[in-house]
């Protein structure tokens, strides 16, 4: 069946700069300035991002960057973060209390709970890798350009760019090619997420199908197999009076298809379709010889040329051990 646990979005309000998602990226290639990580901040409502190269993941550096944020934008109402040591320390809790910031730590092992920053991280790392491919230790020089490109790029979730949602105007960029690079990475991440969800959905469908098959087969037996040329009786699908026979025949198997299905055609002049498709569930082996029965006394009086015949013209066949009047 389905996995336990539904997606429960964290309430974030409907105004900019009220909720920050924060996280560390790295460690990255060591630089001459000893930068090893990026401290990433994203506004939950507008998706505006701020990227800060840092030398460590310490609480002191996190607070230093948040103070830098405060000098321009003030404090958020809440911060959503993982359970890294920088965010679980006593100093960070004290800082949030002093600044009147509500702290929300996501559950360990549930990256989807901080999904916005996780998706941003993938884009940042992919773009930085391409920009610094010739000088991997100079990646920090491209961080500000990546931040500009991310904030000026259209995002499907808000139907505009983050900068436009925050300020009401479009950002003017001198390096539009970088924006296209960010767009390409965001589209790739979207496609990867979609493909991952489709693979998970396919696995779930196959699992449910197998459960349904196993449950259904508990009440069934292996179907009788028929070969080309076999004579069979087939069940009448249309409703008929109770006293009328439920099976018609004889029919001859003319095509063996998959999953216990067959094409058959009438082997005699009988009531019913001359050619049809059916399945083993609605078929029975044609057993015995055709016999003639008197319409007055119900007794067999003989056969001729393989067909039962009598004065009354009434014909009786035996199918699967049961008499079927045609």
Residue 70 pLDDT exceeds 70? yes
The CA distance from 38 to 57, in Å, is 9
**CA end-to-end span of the chain:** 48
The string of pLDDT tens digits covering residues 130-189 is 888 888 889 999 999 899 888 988 888 888 989 899 988 888 776 666 667 777 777 777
Q: What is the per-residue pLDDT for 9?
A: 56
Residues 6+ apart with CB under 8 A from 76: 17, 18, 19, 20, 43, 101
Q: What is the per-residue pLDDT for 241?
A: 62
The string of pLDDT tens digits covering residues 114-134 is 677 888 888 888 888 888 888
Q: Which residue has the higher pLDDT, 4 or 203?
A: 203
For residue 35, CA distances in Å to 51, 190, 265 come to 13, 29, 81
The string of pLDDT tens digits covering residues 193-210 is 777 777 877 888 788 878
The CA distance from 153 to 151, in Å, is 6
The string of pLDDT tens digits covering residues 222-274 is 888 999 999 999 888 766 566 677 888 899 999 999 888 999 999 888 877 88
Q: Which helix (H) or strand (E) holds 185?
A: helix 176-217
Q: What is the per-residue pLDDT for 268?
A: 84
- Strand order in 102-105's β-sheet? 49-54, 37-43, 19-25, 78-81, 102-105
Mean pLDDT value of segment 90-105: 95
Residue 293 pLDDT exceeds 60? no
Ordered by where they begin, the domains of the chain are 19-202 (3.30.420.10), 230-285 (2.30.30)
The CA distance from 324 to 313, in Å, is 15
Q: Give 12's pLDDT tier (boundaries 50, 70, 90).
A: low
With 0.85 as the threshold, say if the pTM is over it. Answer: no
Q: Give 11's pLDDT tier (boundaries 50, 70, 90).
A: low
Mean pLDDT value of segment 308-319: 41
Q: What are the residues facing 29 on neighbouring strands?
A: none
Considering the chain, what percentage of its residues have pLDDT values greater than 90? 33
The CA distance from 75 to 266, in Å, is 84
Q: What is the per-residue pLDDT for 251?
A: 92
Q: What is the per-residue pLDDT for 117?
A: 81
């Amino acid at each position: 069946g389905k996995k336990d646990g539904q997606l429960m979005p964290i309430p974030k309000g409907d105004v900019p700069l009220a909720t920050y998602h924060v996280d560390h990226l790295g460690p990255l290639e060591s630089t001459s300035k000893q930068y090893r990580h990026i401290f990433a901040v994203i506004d939950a409502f507008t998706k505006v991002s701020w990227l800060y190269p840092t030398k460590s993941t310490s609480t002191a550096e996190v607070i230093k960057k948040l103070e830098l944020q405060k000098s321009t934008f003030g404090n958020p109402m809440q911060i959503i973060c993982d359970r890294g040591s920088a965010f679980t320390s006593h100093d960070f809790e004290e800082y949030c209390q002093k600044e009147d910031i509500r702290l929300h730590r996501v559950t360990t092992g549930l990256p989807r709970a901080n999904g916005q920053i996780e998706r941003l991280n993938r884009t940042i790392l992919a773009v930085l890798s391409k920009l610094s491919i010739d000088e991997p230790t100079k990646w920090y020089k491209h961080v500000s350009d990546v931040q500009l490109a991310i904030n000026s790029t259209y995002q499907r979730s808000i139907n505009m760019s983050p900068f436009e949602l925050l300020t009401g105007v479009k950002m003017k960029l001198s390096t539009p090619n970088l924006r296209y690079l960010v767009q390409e990475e965001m589209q790739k991440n979207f496609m990867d997420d979609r493909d991952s969800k489709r693979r998970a959905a396919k696995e779930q469908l196959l699992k449910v199908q197998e459960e349904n098959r196993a449950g259904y087969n508990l009440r069934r037996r292996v179907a009788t197999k028929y070969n080309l040329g076999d004579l069979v009786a087939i069940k009448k699908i249309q409703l008929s009076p109770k006293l009328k026979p439920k099976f018609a025949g004889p029919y001859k198997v003319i095509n063996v298809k998959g999953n216990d299905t067959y094409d058959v055609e009438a082997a005699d002049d009988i009531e019913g379709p001359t050619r049809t498709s059916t399945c083993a569930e609605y078929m029975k082996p044609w057993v015995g010889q055709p016999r003639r029965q008197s319409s007055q006394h119900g007794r067999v009086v003989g056969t001729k040329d393989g067909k039962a015949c009598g004065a009354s013209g009434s014909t009786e066949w035996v199918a699967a051990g049961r008499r079927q009047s045609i």
